[in-house]
């Protein structure tokens, strides 16, 4: 029996080789995500013209799962974020005797940053993981191969409805979170500073512009695409049985949240210069 070869020493050349392999793998995965996006958009835009439309019923079910089922937790978190911003803003501005300006901070923070970010992270945990688990289970049980045998394109059948639902529902959830976040800030400001709700609303409308709301909605569109692509891509790449499904689900959530935060940073940098 031949002796096992000793492990290769961790030389700088070995680290460089590992870095190169990881970089190539990252580029390949990025390309795979882009290919899924292009193919999904093709089926959404042209599927009906070639008599292979994206199923409206499937997209509607995804909308219910992504949007309507998430309303209770989105409501609680958004209202809580609004209250938290009011508490922190009043505490900070009291130092300068300008606690009345807390309305400005709440309005801009909720619409530009917190509402789209909180909603996206929540949906990534709920729906992004569900996409990865569902497609991963189908991949393990060879249902995806069965779709191909039947002449059904898996991207049209599985990915396009999810993408359409996310692109519609995530901005809608974000706008709903805007309203709840502002309501939370108004409730605490009324209790702490005695600001009337009508005065709070009037001041908020004076401060906010259409661009502030649109900025958050545009972010949510990008987040919707990222969550969907990362979830379904990890599902299609599952191997190794049930353990592989678990790994893919965890990876999908972690990568989606990381991508959301990086994209939010880039948006904030370029849109507020």
Cα dist. 45→2, 52, 230, 232, 259 in Å? 60, 11, 21, 20, 26
Q: What pTM value is reported for the model?
A: 0.88
Residue 29 within any structural domain of the chain: no
Residue closest to 119 by CA, chosen among 178, 163, 56: 178
Decide if 272 contacts 133 (C-beta within 8 A).
Answer: no
Summarised one tens digit per residue, pLDDT across range 31-65 is 989 999 999 999 999 988 888 888 889 899 999 99
Q: Can you read off the two tokens belonging to residue 272?
A: 């507020």
In a domain, 115, yes or no: yes
At residue 151, the pLDDT reads 87
143 membership: H or E segment, kind and range: helix 143-149
Is the pLDDT at 10 greater than 70? The verdict is no
- Look at residue 30 and tell me if it is in a domain: no
Residue 144 backbone zone (phi > 0: left; psi -120 to 50: alpha; other: beta): alpha
Per-residue pLDDT tens over the stretch 155-165: 999 999 999 99
Q: Which tokens hold the place of 253?
A: 């959530």
Residue 188 forms part of a structural domain: yes
CA 191 to chain centre: 33
CB-CB neighbours of 75 under 10 Å: 16
3 inside domain: no
Residue 50 lies in a domain: no
Structural domain for 174, as ranges: 55-271
Does 168 map to a domain? yes
Give the chain's domain count: 1
- Phi, psi (degrees; rounded to nearest 5) at 272: -125, 25
Determine, yes or no, domain membership for 38.
no
* Tokens 């961790």 -> residue: 10
């Amino acid at each position: 029996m031949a002796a096992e070869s000793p492990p290769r020493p961790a030389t700088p050349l070995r680290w460089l080789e590992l870095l190169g392999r990881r970089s190539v793998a990252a580029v390949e995965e990025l390309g795979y995500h882009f290919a899924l996006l292009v193919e999904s958009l093709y089926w959404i835009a042209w599927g009906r013209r070639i008599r292979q439309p994206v199923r409206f019923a499937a997209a509607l079910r995804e909308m219910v799962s992504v949007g309507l089922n998430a309303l209770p937790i989105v409501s609680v978190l958004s209202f809580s974020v609004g209250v938290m911003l009011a508490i922190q803003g009043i505490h900070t501005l009291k130092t300068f005797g300008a606690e009345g300006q807390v309305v400005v901070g709440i309005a801009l923070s909720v619409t530009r940053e917190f509402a789209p970010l909180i909603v996206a992270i929540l949906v990534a945990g709920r729906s992004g993981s569900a996409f990865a688990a569902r497609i991963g289970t189908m991949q393990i049980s060879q249902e995806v191969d069965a779709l191909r045998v039947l002449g059904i394109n898996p991207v049209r059948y599985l990915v396009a409805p999810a993408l359409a639902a996310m692109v519609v529902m995530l901005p809608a959830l974000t706008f709903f979170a805007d309203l709840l976040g502002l309501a939370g800030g108004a409730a605490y400001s009324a209790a702490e500073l005695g600001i009337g709700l009508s005065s709070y609303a009037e001041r908020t409308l004076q401060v906010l512009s259409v661009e502030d709301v649109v900025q958050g909605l545009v972010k949510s569109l990008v987040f919707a695409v990222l969550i969907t692509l990362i979830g379904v891509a990890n599902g299609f790449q599952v191997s190794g049985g049930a353990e592989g499904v678990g790994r893919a689900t965890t990876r999908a959530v972690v990568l989606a949240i990381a991508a959301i935060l990086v994209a939010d940073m880039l948006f904030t940098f370029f849109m507020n210069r």
